[in-house]
Amino acid sequence: MDSPDIRIVLVAPSHPGNIGAVARAMKNMGLTHLVLVNPKQFPHPEATARASGADDVLEQARVVGSLSEALAGCGLVAASTSRERDQYFRVVDVRDVAARIVAEARRAPAAVVFGAERTGLTNEELETAHALIRIPAHAAYPSLNLAMAVQLVAYELFRARSGAASPPAPPAAPLATAVEMERLYAHFAQVLEEIDFRDRTQSGTHLMSRIRRLLQRAELDQNEVNILRGMLTAVQNRRRHAGEAQHE
């Protein structure tokens, strides 16, 4: 079974032993693409010791300075969370989303993002994901070790690849990459500023976050992003022409 183009992304892991244990969990399930965002200690002897034969996964691991760099070129992005539900994010069971991740990884890199051991992922980091993955656990103690969480997700991905689950056919057009989505959000923010459309809530700081979450849940493909950016450009051109007419 070939290794799919699925990135396991660890954001700010603090314990090198956990990095090694994650590498072992990945190799157990045929995953090889590990990306570390600002690890506290890596490389490290404890990481190598805990890898227990998955040294090749550690050696191939990429270390990057930002989550956006880790997700460069990716289509579908899922992020791990302990939340059962969220009013802004789509939260899905790990088994339900595994087949989708495998299907999308056939044509563009997909990513599963895990947060730091103590703090998890920030809301800003969660906004990069199309969906949040929830791993069911007993209510009395639902907190999972980082390597354990990766092992469970990797197992479900392995099941999906081996035919235990039937991967759905991916949509006709590839999902927009993280870079394309960031360009869309920057374009949105620019146009909202130009037309003086502002957040009317009390704090006045949540408008773009809500727009980001809305569009991430929509899982836009590249054609849809182009359509939206074309509409935004048309708004800018119409305002520009209106302004020129007023000065004639």
pLDDT number for residue 71: 96
How does pLDDT run across 195-235, given as a tens digit for each residue?
A: 999 887 656 668 898 899 899 989 999 999 999 999 999 99
Report the candidate in 141, 125, 35 with the shortest Cα–Cα distance to residue 80: 125
More confident residue, 2 or 155: 155
For 103-164, the three-class secondary structure string (H helix, E strand, C coil) is HHCCCCCEEEEECECCCECCHHHHCCCCEEEECCCCCCCCCCCHHHHHHHHHHHHHHHHHCC
Could you check whether 6-162 and 178-246 share the same CATH topology? no
Q: Please state, rounded to an integer, the average pLDDT across all residues of the chain.
A: 89
CA 238, 239, 242, 243 dihedral sign is negative
More confident residue, 1 or 38: 38
Does residue 107 register a pLDDT over 70? yes
Read off the pLDDT band of 26 (50, 70, 90): very high
Average pLDDT over residues 240-247: 67
How does pLDDT run across 29-82, given as a tens digit for each residue?
A: 999 999 999 999 999 999 999 999 999 999 999 999 999 999 999 999 999 987
6-162 belongs to which homologous superfamily? SPOUT methyltransferase, trefoil knot domain (3.40.1280.10)
> Domain residues of the chain, as ranges?
6-162, 178-246
CA distance 42 to 19: 8
> Is residue 6 within 8 Å of residue 112, measured between CB atoms?
yes
Does residue 167 register a pLDDT over 60? no
Q: What does pTM read for this prediction? A: 0.82
CA distance 203 to 59: 46
Element (H, E) at 35: strand 33-37
Q: What's the CATH class of domain 178-246?
A: mainly alpha
Element (H, E) at 58: helix 55-60
Residue 235 tokens read as 């708004």
